[in-house]
Each structure stands twice: as C-alpha cells, then as structure tokens.
Structure 1
C-alpha cells in the first residue's frame, strides 16, 4: 500500500478534509498523520498551528504522496535528492509557488493545487460584492440603522446587461464568468495569454487594458508577479465611469490603492477590496467611514464548504494521475509556472 504523509496540524486536517475524503485516505494509503508534537504552537480555530519544519523529513520519509495545506513549511528539494522522493505533492490550498522548488517538476513529480476549487468560492465573493455595491446596499443599510428610510437622492443599479471588465483570465475569473452567464452581461477580458479561440469558448470578448477598464464593473484576477505590480494605474482608475464598481480579490499590489481609495472616498466609484498593500491595511478614517467601500480581510476564498472540499479535490486528481497518468483540473502545469498565481 502506498504511503501518504499529511504535513499539517490536526486542526488543519479537520479544516480541509471531510469525512468521505478521510475514509478514502485510509482505504488507499498508509497514512502518517502529524500530531500536536509536530507543530510550532497551540494555534487557534481561526489560525491552526503550523507544522514544525524539522518534522517534515521525519513524516515524509518513504512517502509516495505528500498532502499539504496552509501551515505546511516549504518542501525543500532535498526531499528528492536521492532520486526516490515522493511521486506526488497534493496541496489542499492555493498557490504552490511558496511551497516547492520548481526544479522538482523537472523530475516528474506530479504537483496538484486546490486553487481551482478555491476559485469558485472567490467567484461567488466577486458576484456577491458586485450585486451588493451595484444595489448600494451598504448605503441603504446605514440609512436604516441611522433612523432613516428611503434615500431619494440615489438608486441602485442592475448587473443584468452591464459591461463587466475582467483583468486576467485566471481560474477565479473563469468561475466568475460562469456565474455571470444568467445576467447576460457584456464581458470583456484583458489577458495577453488568452487566445481568441479560448475567449470564444468562454463566451467573452478580448479587449485591451484601457477598454476593459472603461466598464461599469471591473474585477481583477491577476497573479502576484512583477509584471502585474501597479498594472491598474491611476490613469486607468480615472477612466472608470462614474458609479463604477471595482472588485479586487486577487493581489493588493496589482492596483494603485491610493488612487482607488481617493476616487472611492470622493464618492465617484464603489469598490470591494479583499486584498491590500500592505496586509493588514493601514486605512485612513475617511476610507473606513465610506459607505461605498466594502472591506473584507482576505477571505474571498474562505468558506466552510470550500475548505472541507480541498483535500478531496486534489486527491481525486492525484489518484487518477497515479493510476493512469490523467491530468485533472488541479494539476500544476510546469509550462505555466512563470505566469501562475
């Protein structure tokens, strides 16, 4: 029976492994579970303890599969130095860029990430934020809480039929595109790596960055790479139409945060921010009071159902890859490493 090492705390295991997946693990593998003795501290429900880096080689010795998640230390390439290292790294979380050295991809190691599953949770967040701000719900909520009622000076707007600009055709963007289909939106996408054929398959049209920014709704879905730092510049923010809704759930450095906040505090645009630069953010009182800003603490991909599904999502693909070499949706393609999130 192949051996699997679960390289995270018992608390994290309870967070990302549902009962069905736990049974699958025990049926298919000789599982080595980390214990509290392998972790760095007590942790909490909101932030389970991390695994002690010194415990990784002990738990991983002789393992065919490494199951990782948040709190797993960097998996040093030395784990594969003798040529007989694990065949699979299945990451029950998002990006693997800070988890592995890409050199192991050249050794035929199958790496899997639950990023595409998290993308659905993020897509729901983006849709919810767009609808919430389009209908001006925070303003109406504040009015009622303050003893008011109807707000005759403004009305909400509909998402249906609106122009939606999407920057970056990532897995989160594709999830949002699926969720937008019933609304009949004019979806325009800027992504230099997206082909016309793939855009047609997604039911969107390609556009350059300036045109994409001139949308009633603008959502950002780019990786944290040097090319994306500051790509949503002050100039592009100024091109947004009055009353536009901006959602950033990808990376804080991708946008000129100061320019965005200036336009939002002035009341010209609405924005939902789940990521910041830096994190946690240091926001002025004017921004904290602004009812046209929806501020959340980097939780777009954090749902109860989504977290419990993560281990099962990557293990399904990892098992198919081990059994017959099939590359499922969570497979990390080595050829796309440089542009991956």
Structure 2
C-alpha cells in the first residue's frame, strides 16, 4: 500500500478534506497525518495554523504521495536529492508555484492542483458580480437604507445578449464561460495562447485586447507573470464604454487600479474588485462609499463547499494516475509552467 503524507495541520485538514475523502485516503493509502505538534504557531482568527517547515523531513520520510494545501511550507529540492523522493505532489489548493521548484517536475514527479475546482467558485463569483452590478443592486440597496423607494434616475440592465470581454482563457475564465452560456452573450476573449480550435470548442471568438475592452462587461483572468503586470493601462480603461462593468478576480497588478477607481468615482464605470495592488488595500472614504463599486477581500474562490471538495478533487486524479498514468484535469502540465497562475 502506498504511503501518503498529509502536510497540513489538523485545522486545515478539517477545511479541505471531507469525510468521504478521509475514508478513501485511509482505504487506499498508509496515511501519515500531521498533528498539532507539527504546527508553526497558533494561527490567527479565521486562519488555520501553518505547518512548521522543520517537520517536513520526518513527515515526508518514506512517502510516495504528498498531500498539501494552504499552510504547507515550500517543499525544498532536498526532499528529492537522493532520487527516492515522493512520486506525486497533490495540492489541495490553487497555484503550486510557491510550493515547489520547477526542477521537481523535470525529475518526473507528477504534480496535481485543485485550481480547476477553485475556478468554478471564482466563476460563480464573477457571474454574481456581473449580475449584481448590472441590476444596480448596490444603488437600490443604498436608496432603501436612506429611506428612498423607486428610483427615476437610473435603471438596471440585463446580462442576456451582452458583449462580454474575457481577458485570459484560464480555468477560471472557462468556468465563467460555461456559466454564461444560458445568457446568450457575445463572448470575446483575448489570450495569445488560445488557439482557434480551442476557442471554437469553448464557443468564444478571439480578438484583441483593445476590442475586449470595448465590451459592456469585462472580466480579468490572467496569471501573475511579468507579461500581465499593468497590461490594462489607463489608456485602455479610458476607452471602455460608459457604464461598462469591470470584474477583477485574478491579480491586482494586471490593471491600473488608480485609473479604474477614478472612472468609478466619477460615475462612468462600475467595478467589482476581489484582488488589489497592494493587498490588503487602503482606500479613502470616497472609494469605500461608492455605490458602483463592489469590494471583497480576495475570496472569489473561497466557498464552504469548494474548500471541502479540494482534497477529494486532486485525490481522484492521483488514483487514476497511479493506476494507469491518466492525466486528469488537476494534473499540472510541466510545459505550461511558465504561463500558469
């Protein structure tokens, strides 16, 4: 029976491993669970404690599979230095770029990430933000709270049939595209790595960044790489149509945040921001009170159901990989490392 080391504290295990997955783990692996004694500290309110890096060698010894998540320290190359390290790293969280070095993949270690499962949660957030702002719900909510009633100066709009511009064809973008299908939107995507064949499969059309930013709705889904930093410039923001809705759930540095907020504050644009530059942000009262701005604390991918599904999501693909080498949706392709989130 293969040996699996769960490299996160009991509190994190309660967050990302549901009961069915625990049973599956115990049935298919000899499991080594990290305990409270392996924590780096007490943690903080609402945030489980991280694993102490010093605990890694003892927990990893003899393991074939490593199950990781948030709070797992960086896995040093030394864990594989003798050529006998774990064959699989299964990350019950998103990006693995801060977890492992790419040289580990070059050594033939199979890496899996629950990013595609988190993507669905992000897609739901983006759809919710679009609908909320399109229907002007924050403005109506504010009016009611100020003893108002029917509004004659503004009216909500529909998402159905609208032009939706998507920047980046990542897994979160693909989740949003799926959710948008019933609305019959004109879906345009800017992504230099998206092939015509794949675009046709997704039911979208590819276009330029400038054209995407001529859409009524714009959603940003790019990785945090040098090429995406500041890609949505002040000039591009100025070219957005009046009353356009911008949703950023990917990376704060991708857009000129100050320029966007200026257009939000003068009432020309609507925006939903879940990520910022820097994080956490510091905003003045005018921004905090803007009724055409939705602010959330980097939680687009954070849902109760989504978190509990993460370990099971990657474990399903790990078992298929161990059985016959099948690359499931959570498999991290070494060839795509440079453009991954």
Match of 1:148 in 2: 148
Q: CA deviation at 1:45?
A: 5.8
Within-5 A mapping of 1:66-145:
66-145=66-145
State how far apart, in whole Å, the 2-side matches of 1:88 and 1:50 are: 21
Kindly provide the CA deviation profile for residues 300-326 of structure 1, in whole angstroms up to 9, marking residues without a partner as x: 000000000000000000111111000
Paired residues in the alignment total 341
Kindly provide the CA deviation profile for residues 8-57 of structure 1, in whole angstroms up to 9, marking residues without a partner as x: 01000000000000000000111111111100112246200000000011
Residue 339 (structure 2) pairs with residue 330 (structure 1): no
Kindly provide the CA deviation profile for residues 118-153 of structure 1, in whole angstroms up to 9, marking residues without a partner as x: 000000000000000000000000100110001100
Q: CA deviation at 1:235?
A: 0.8
Q: CA deviation at 1:238?
A: 0.7
SS of alignment partner, residue 211 of structure 1: helix
State how far apart, in whole Å, the 1-side matches of 2:277 and 2:256 are: 9
TM-score (norm 1): 0.99
Is the contact made by 1:165 and 1:217 (CA closer than 8 Å) also made in structure 2? Answer: yes
Match of 2:205 in 1: 205
Kindly provide the CA deviation profile for residues 268-314 of structure 1, in whole angstroms up to 9, marking residues without a partner as x: 00000000000000112111110000000000000000000000000
Kindly provide the CA deviation profile for residues 47-91 of structure 1, in whole angstroms up to 9, marking residues without a partner as x: 000000000111000000000000000000110000010000000
SS of alignment partner, residue 63 of structure 2: coil
TM-score (norm 2): 0.99
Structure 1: runs of 5 or more not aligned: none
State how far apart, in whole Å, the 1-side matches of 2:184 and 2:140 are: 26
Match of 1:63 in 2: 63
Residue 187 (structure 2) pairs with residue 187 (structure 1): yes
State how far apart, in whole Å, the 1-side matches of 2:105 and 2:41 are: 32
State how far apart, in whole Å, the 1-side matches of 2:338 and 2:41 are: 34
